[in-house]
Structure 1
Amino acid sequence: MSVRNPLRLLDLAGMSLLREEASAIAALEYLPTELFPPLFMEAFYGRHSKTLKAMVHSWPFVRLPLGGLMKTPHLGTLQAVLGGLDVLLAQKDRSRRCRLRVLDLRNTGQDFWSMWSGDGARWCSGSLMAPVAEDRSRTEQPLAPLEVFIDLHLKERTMDGFLTYLLRWVEERRASIHLCCKKMRILSFPLENITKVLSMVQLNCIQEVHVNCTWHLYPLAMFATLVGQMNNVQRLLLSYIHLSELEEQEEQDIVQITSQYLRLHHLRDLHLESPTFLEGHLDHMLKCLTTPLNNLAITHCLLMDSDLTHLSQCPNIRRLKGLDLSGVTLTDSSPELLPVLLEKVAATLQELYLDQCGIMDSQLQAILPALSRCSQLRFFSLRGNLLSVAIMKKLLQHTSGLPNLSQELYPVPRESYSSQGILQPGRLAQCRDDLFEILRVLGRPRVIWLNSSPCPHCGDNTFYHPQPVIYR
């Protein structure tokens, strides 16, 4: 023990109690509220399972943020806490101390533990009793099922022991326990296992879903029916859904998938990465959107001119704050389509990503008037497109009047490369000087970043050698 950092009396009291677990358990009914969290932490880190179990059914707060103590899931601790909940569920009359309604297994609650351990701000007597006062008002209501909160991350082919044990425990107590999940991430996980897991989750609790699986249309359609029941989803991210040639049955699957959006009345952010099934079918999805989106990302796929037309005509994109079309090849698209789309979102757009879209000088020239009217734009990225110094000068001129634009990521001008596509440092320096000169003429303090081509060894999304051009 350091002389400079002596243990507090609360810490010493907790350590003394835990030397004799039976005495500690017997004292819980009379233990001051402010001693509960420090003693729980001592029992948690010391793996005193009997004390943890007893403290759960005497817990004097509505929420037990257990996840805030677990950097990594620990099965033994979980078993002790769930054992305490079993005692609580079996009691006809709860302890006068216990007000527990929520077990939170997410990585939250650190502020709660730091406050009671003395690591946070100093607390007064009023703040000590505030959680208890809040809990007491809730106990006047009829007892509802206990809620267990968890963020689900399903990956590989099997679940770890922690999650397997928790789900089995919940399954055996369906009437008394609600398993709630606000964020769910699925990475290469079999559909049949996903279905089993979700059968135990309150689907209307889910607010964010991220799926990254090499599925074909049929499993995606099956999963979409589950998404349709998650009527409080706000963010939906689908990545790498594979598709071969469309057949009649697959056309029906697309309709089944997109029709589920009709049920998502709270959807605000939609991210679709490599959605090959949407080529020529984007209108099916767009017409099923029921609420205005805040952010829309459709990336690394092919879209037909008809798709871009439907996108610009969709009433639910008019309030977009973020638009990401990175990796959507626009080289051969009609030059008037992208300007029309930008005009529709110009009043609200704050972030625009057009990376690796195959945009050429003529296409950038076409969108400059619409771009200059995006008065709320703060972030703009054009990386991975082959553009000349001349068109980039025009770009800087058209965007110089945007008051909020603070982050700009542009490609290294094509004059910086040799005929073999090799970046030439001397040419790059000259291009940077040319762009600096136009910034000086415009007279507004500004920093732009130039990124060279995507690294062929690190993947399409990796850009290297960022070069700042700074005018202050």
Structure 2
Amino acid sequence: MWSGASSYGCSSSPMAAVAEPRSTTKLHLAPLKVFVDLCLKEKTLDNFLTYFLRWVEQRESSVHLCCKKLKIISMPMDNMVKVLSMVQLDCIQEVQVSCTWNLSTLATFAPFLGEMCNLQRLVLFPVHMSAFKKQEEHHVVQITSQFLRLDHLRDLHLESPSFLEGCLDQMLRCLKSPLDSLSITKCWLRDSDLTNLSQNPNISQLKSLDLSCVTMTDFWPELLQVLLEKVAATLQDLDLDVCGITDSQLEACLPALSRCSQLRSVSLCGNLLSTAGMEKLLRHTAVLPCLRQERYPAPQESYRPRGVLLEARLAQLRAQLWEILRDLGHPRIIWISLSPCPRCGEDVVTNVLADCRGPASAESRDILRMDDDVGE
């Protein structure tokens, strides 16, 4: 809707009503702002979007196309460029790229990203690299340099960002403001990457940290310890699923983890922990006042060497862990993850431990029971 008025200069003479005014002054109207959330998912523009963009293009001087949420699922780059060139990019606050791009395609998109100066949330799914990484280093610079212009970025989610291995610092040092949420998943990171991550001042206020499926089998546990210490005052959600973390590595990080006083949820599913390691974990997390959701792997003693689940042994270990929690006297609900399911090969999660303030009631024993149809 337009609002505004036009006023014309006129004479005070009675004849002025039928005479042409000698001078005319017209107030300029502000452009009409049209807001639409865009989801680009077709190989060719659909009928509505084609008509709508043509309508905007014909009124370029009087209509501004604004978009707060942009989602890109599947669209050729030339069509996407056409659409983005018509959008007021500084209106965009959230971008999700769900299609699989190669690095050169992402580099082509990067200048548009840099124009989104009010962007608050960026979600980027897998980016493929060629075998000749050296030839693509300039693309990495093109991409990471755009973060210098994103003053309001708060949430950053990167899935399988293989192009950042060994050069995560290039992106981190371009961040302009502290992040609330950081997710880097399904990739390899070097010790230097974890070092740079823990030293970056813009992660010191993180509320959510997700490093699931980031291989840490050979990393120095002190690096994760320093990282947890850096975010201990603000961290609320921590996900370290399937990182290859062992008992000794976890034990080195437990003092730092127990200082995360705002922690509400923690997940360590898919890691290689023993019953003894889990006992130490439970004792350290018992002091966290806000912790409400815990997801841990079944102890390694629950499996035969080839990964076959020993259900009777698991039941015994669950009972053992339950007794530990009851002795700690801290009410909590814990989920134990079996991976993979012995029947279907998929991950399975079963609730194993509940309110542990007193002797096991009939209700809590039912919670402790593993249902026969779990994983079906």
Closer, same or farther in 2 for the Cα pair 1:247/1:392, shift >3 Å? closer
Q: Aligned residues, how many? A: 336
Tell me the residue number matched to 2:313. 427
Aligned pairs for 1:292-311 (under 5 A) are 292-311=178-197
Contact preservation (8 Å) 2:53, 2:83: yes
Q: Any idea what the Cα deviations from partners look like across 1:239-269, whole Å, max 9, x if unmatched? A: 1101123444411111111000000000001
Distance in 2, Cα, partners of 1:384 & 1:345: 23
- Which of 290, 293, 299 does residue 407 from structure 1 map onto? 293
Please state how far the C-alpha of 1:92 moved relative to its aligned partner.
8.2
Q: Tell me, yes or no, if structure 1 residue 443 matches structure 2 residue 326.
A: no
| Aligned partner of 1:211 among 97, 100, 107 | 97
Say which structure, 1 or 2, has more relative contact order (CA 8 Å, 6+ apart). Answer: 2
Range moving further from structure 2, 295-304 or 216-225: 216-225
Gapped regions of structure 2 (runs ≥ 5): 7-26, 357-376
Give the letter aligned to residue 105 of structure 2.
P
The Cα of 1:165 is off from its aligned counterpart by 1.7
Match of 1:137 in 2: none
Query: 2:124 — aligned with what?
Result: 238
1:184 aligns with 2:70: yes
Secondary structure of the 1:338 match is helix
1:383 positional shift: 1.0
The aligned residue for residue 272 of structure 2 is 386
Specify whether residues 147 and 349 from structure 1 end up closer, same or farther in structure 2 by C-alpha distance, changes over 3 A only.
same
State the secondary structure of the residue aligned to 2:110.
helix
TM-score, normalised on structure 2?
A: 0.85
- 2:229 aligns with 343
* Pair 317,465 (structure 1): closer, same or farther in 2 beyond 3 Å: closer
Q: Does 1:194 align with 2:80?
A: yes
Paired AA for residue 348 in structure 2: Y
**How far off is 1:414 after superposition?**
1.4
Secondary structure of residue in 2 paired with 1:336: helix
Partner of 2:374 in structure 1? none
Secondary structure of the 1:253 match is helix
Residue-by-residue CA offset, 1:82-121 (whole Å, 9 max, x unaligned): xxxxxx89x987xxxxxxxxxxxxxxxxxxxxxxxxxxxx
TM-score computed with the length of structure 1 as normaliser: 0.68
Picking from 136, 151, 155, the partner of 1:269 is 155
CA distance in 2, matches of 1:182, 1:249: 35
**Equivalent AA in structure 2 for residue 235 of structure 1:** R
One-letter amino acid matched to 2:355:
Y
Taking a change above 3 Å as real, the CA distance of residues 454 and 191 of structure 1, as seen in their structure-2 partners, is: farther
Residue 263 of structure 2 aligns with an amino acid whose one-letter code is L
**Aligned positions of 1:299-378 closer than 5 A:** 299-378=185-264
2:293 is the alignment partner of 1:418: no
Picking from 40, 46, 61, the partner of 1:175 is: 61
Distance 1:248 1:422 in 2: 43
Which of 355, 361, 366 is equivalent to 1:471?
355
1:284 to 151, 157, 170: 170
Cα distance 1:412–1:311, how it changes in 2: closer, same or farther (>3 A)? same
Instruction: Please give the per-residue CA displacement for 1:304-336, whole angstroms capped at 9, x wherever unaligned.
Output: 000000001101001011100001000111121
| Partner residue in 2 for 1:121 | none
Partner-residue secondary structure (3-state), 2:333:
strand
Which residue of 158, 168, 171 maps to 2:44? Answer: 158
The partner residue of 2:136 within 242, 250, 257 is 250
Supply the distance in 1 between the matched residues of 2:171 and 2:84 (Cα, whole angstroms): 24
Cα displacement (A) at 1:202:
0.6
The 3 A distance-change label for structure 1 pair 455 and 218 is: farther
CA RMSD of aligned residues (A): 2.1
The superposition leaves residues 107-139 of structure 1 with CA deviations (integer Å, 9 ceiling, x where unpaired) of: xxxxxxxxxxxxxxxxxxxxxxxxxxxxxxxxx
Deviation of the 1:195 alpha carbon: 0.8
C-alpha deviation, 1:458, in angstroms: 9.1
Q: CA deviation at 1:217?
A: 1.3
Q: Please tell me whether the aligned partners of residues 286 and 311 of structure 1 are also in contact (alpha carbons under 8 angstroms).
A: yes
Task: Return 5+ residue gaps in structure 1 as ranges.
Answer: 1-61, 63-87, 94-140
